[in-house]
Structures are given as C-alpha cells and as structure tokens.
Structure 1
C-alpha cells in the first residue's frame, strides 16, 4: 500500500477508489485466486506482518529472525555482511515459502544506506509493521586503554544508528496509519542489561545502551499519537553467540585480556564467572528475547519500557 501511495505522489497525488471499483477488484477472479494462493495455512502470531531486523545475519538477530518467521512474519534481513544476510534470507524462504524473507546490505551508521534499506523494504513488501534495532558492537577496556576511535565506533553503531533507523522507519508507518487508523506499529531496540546498570571497564558500550533507553523513552512520547509503540528489550549475556564466543574478538577474550574477571586464567574461567552471576544459571538465548519481542508487539498498552530478559541478573526496582 505504501509503495503505491509513494509512487502515486509522483504523478500528481492519489485519490480513493469508489466502492464499486473496490468491489470489482475484490471479486475479480484472478485477484481472488491470487489471494487464496498467498494465504499461509499456518497462522502464526505475527501472520503477514513485515519485520525489519538490523544485524540479523548472525547472532541474536539471526535467531530472532528465525523465530519470528516461525510466527508468520515476513522478514527483512539487514546487515553489513551482505552474503551472510542473503544466506539467512534464502534459508528462511526455503523453510517458510518464497518471498517470506529478503536481504538488504546496510550500514546503519550511514544515512543514505539507512534510507535505501527502508525504501527497499517498502518496495518489496509494500509497508513496514515492526522495526527491530538489533545491530550493535562492543569494545571494552579501561579509561587508559580505550581509544577515541573505538569509543566513537561504539557510539555510532549503538546510539547514532538507532536514531537514524528510527527516523526513517516511522515514515511508512505514519502513512499506513492514515489509511488504517486501528493499526499499531512497533519500534523495538535490542538493548542490554548494561543499559540498566553500569559495566566495569565497558563504559563505551554501557553508555551507548543507557543512551538507547533514553532514545526509546523519548521516541515513545513523540510517536504515541501515531500508534507507534517504542520499547527496549534488555537481554542478559548471550554466551553462546559470536559476540561472546568468537575466539579472536569475542568478549570472553576481550574481558580476559582486560582483567575484568579477577583470577581468570582462560576463557572458560571467564564464562563460568558470568554464568555464576545469573540466578537461573545460564546465558540468555534468542528464544528468550523472541518471547519478549512477541509480548512487546502483541500488547497494546506499554510504550517507553525497558524490559529485562536477564535470568534475574538485573531486576527492576
């Protein structure tokens, strides 16, 4: 719908169809057949919704994409890793049907790239229902160790990009709201438990995540009149994901080198330390985050919230 509206604006504007014309189109034999053919027999909780997820070629983002596709969503895999994004989208289509996912290469810190990402989404699916700001980066270190370049990189990816993406995500949502006043939309930031409390020798990341919650609350106030809910999900540590487990750049390696865990002699010592801090005794998994995302989308009375998914490691006061 949105793609049609935006195209029509280039030809002098759009006008509503008459009831007779609407009825003719709906009863047209070819249109009736197409509608039936495109109806998925398996009705999920997000059936037909268009969901764009940044940083979804791997890690949390990939797991979230897979689980939301299971619930009937059409998924846009957006990532700087173009080949990885294409691979994920291809597998989703093979499992759930042609057209259920597509990939777009995107640098979320570049405004032109962000604009293109959302334009491609609208052109492909005709609109946007949910934007999940998942792309993120970590660079840990003490004040003495942290460089200006590393600090700026973390800030740009985790904070600036959230602003840029939200700025352009809401454009199609506002247009859709005009023609479907009852519809609600969602901006969801994948934040962190580090956005709820400080993190020793990890101030660049924690600061960007604290800022992300500030953006979420401020966006929520501005966008509520348009039926756009804005919430943050604050996961605990995804210890099995590449962010933590990458043998060269993962957080286990970074924290071992930075001395964040006193007495740790190897990566396994660091892992055991972080597992011991969780009352439920394990790291966070994509399915844990997906359940919270489903809640955020399905509910209609919460906005501006930071929802902890930490196994009890962080509790709201």
Structure 2
C-alpha cells in the first residue's frame, strides 16, 4: 500500500534533532524524499544516515543552512528542487529558545534580534522560497501530484497564551509566526498552497529542557499541563505528518495546537497521577 507521502518531496529545517528529526523519520516512512536542513551539519548528516538506513527506497539528503540568512534558505530550496524535481512540503521547524531570553526589563537587544532573525525571519525566508518553488510544481495526474503544496510553520502554545516562565523574544517571535502564517494562507489559498501553524505545548526536547534548566522551572510548566507530562517530539511529528498529507487537504490558515490540553485549561487535576506517553511512540527502534 503506498505511503501517505508517496512521490512527494519535503524540506525540513531543524532536522537534526527533536521534532525535525522525528518528522524526517515519519515523512520517509510514508514515502517522501527529504532534504534535512540544520545549522549543525554533523547533526543533519547523522539524521540523514539514520533515515536512509531505515528507509533505503527514499532519498534523505543532509544540508547545512542558517535559516536567518536568506541566501542559505534559497540554496536549500533550490537543492531540494534540483534533487527531487519538485518541493511539495516545507516544514519551517528550526528555532531557538535562548537561556538569556527573559522579560521586557532583562532581555538584551542582542538576544531579541537573534531570536527574531531565526524564529521569524527564518520562517519568512522559508515561506517565500517554498511558495516560489511550489508554484512551479508540475502536474502528474497518475501520481496525484499538482501545483501547490503544504507549508508548516512551527509556532508555539505561547503564541496563544502567556508563558509562566518569561521568554519575551521567543513568545513574540512565535506570535508573529502565527499571524504571518494566517495571512500567507489567505493570499495563496487559490494557488493550492496551504499554510498552517503547528503549536506545540511543552515538549521533552533538548531545546526546552536546556531552557527549563532547574526543577523549579520544570514544575512551573508541568503544573499547568492537564496531562501532567511534557509531550514527546514524535507526537508533534505525527501532527506535522497530517498537515503535510492529503488528509488535511481542506485545512489552511489554522493554529494546530498539540499541547496536551494546556491552552484549554483553567485548572488542572493537581495531585492526580500523570499518564505516561504511549509506549509505541517513545520506545520505537
């Protein structure tokens, strides 16, 4: 039975770890060729090798790029089109959460600028060059391929509600990603180019765990989570797969929240034991 992304190609930024790595694995499992982009080429190369060993029938190509630099994002998109013949899926996932990002009084301008350049400008560049590429996609009725594609931008639950731990630049950047995604979705809907934001809740990834570097900070997050646990990167990858696939063909301009109920909670069941994530998700070979 063909995979959900058979004959399609994807570019994933921040593909060397976390959500990006797990999405690369799932996309390849469903038949997509993938350009794995990361600012750390060693991580991209390791991830690419991992994908290729598990799914030898798809192409998994590593590429180094700093998404805050327009020429490097363009080069990544150009390479994907050159290698795969088209770009069907753009997952603008790369981002940072700087440990010195704080409130309005304590956050340095340099931290603000760095965060905006990567988290917001990087998504802008990714959208721009993906849209240009997707407009040129050839139609192949036999394979179900048409002009257009799916662009997924990683935002955050903090784009919708305030965070208990101050991280002003990060929160502002993700709010802007949400607004930009909505507008681009409206502008390009008639071209068959869908744009959606993926809004993760707190995840057990190196990015967040490095930021929540004390037990106190971790507990300030966990106390607000109805499920009582941090999410797993693969749980977000499953959501990204849905947005990338034809199963979401009538979905554009959405804020897809995958947050364990956080954004819907007023109070949580304090004292109740937290259920662990499904073993099938976290104990994969």
Q: Same fold by TM (over 0.5)?
A: yes
The CA RMSD measured in Å over matched residues stands at: 1.9
Unmatched tracts of structure 2, length 5 or more: 266-285
Task: Give yes or no for contact 1:177–1:226 (8 Å, CA) kept in 2.
Answer: no
Bigger proportion of residues as helix: 1
Task: Give yes or no for contact 1:111–1:164 (8 Å, CA) kept in 2.
Answer: yes
Q: Does 1:107 align with 2:71?
A: no
Task: Give yes or no for contact 2:77–2:130 (8 Å, CA) kept in 1.
Answer: yes
Task: Give yes or no for contact 2:15–2:44 (8 Å, CA) kept in 1.
Answer: yes
1:273 maps to 220
Moved runs in structure 1, 4+ residues, more than 3 A? 177-184
Shift of 1:199: 2.6
Unmatched tracts of structure 1, length 5 or more: 1-41, 254-266
Equivalent residues in 2 for 1:51-66, closer than 5 Å? 51-66=10-25
Q: For residue 176 of structure 1, give the secondary structure of its aligned residue in structure 2.
A: coil
2:282 maps to none
Q: Does 1:165 align with 2:126?
A: yes
TM-score, normalising length: structure 2: 0.85
Q: Does 1:252 align with 2:217?
A: no
Tell which deviates more after alignment, 60-69 or 122-131.
60-69
Per-residue CA deviations over 1:183-205 (Å, capped at 9, x if unaligned) read 55101001110111123521111
Task: Give yes or no for contact 1:47–1:73 (8 Å, CA) kept in 2.
Answer: yes
Question: Which protein, 1 or 2, shows the higher relative CO under an 8 Å CA cutoff with sep ≥ 6?
Answer: 2
| Count of residue correspondences | 257
Structure showing greater Rg: 1
| Distance (Å, rounded) in 2 between the aligned partners of 1:307 and 1:218 | 15
1:193 maps to 157
Q: Does 1:151 align with 2:112?
A: yes
1:282 maps to 229
Which of 254, 264, 267 pairs up with 1:305? 254
1:174 maps to 135
| Distance (Å, rounded) in 2 between the aligned partners of 1:92 and 1:284 | 22
Which of 20, 33, 36 pairs up with 1:74? 33
Task: Give yes or no for contact 1:308–1:315 (8 Å, CA) kept in 2.
Answer: no
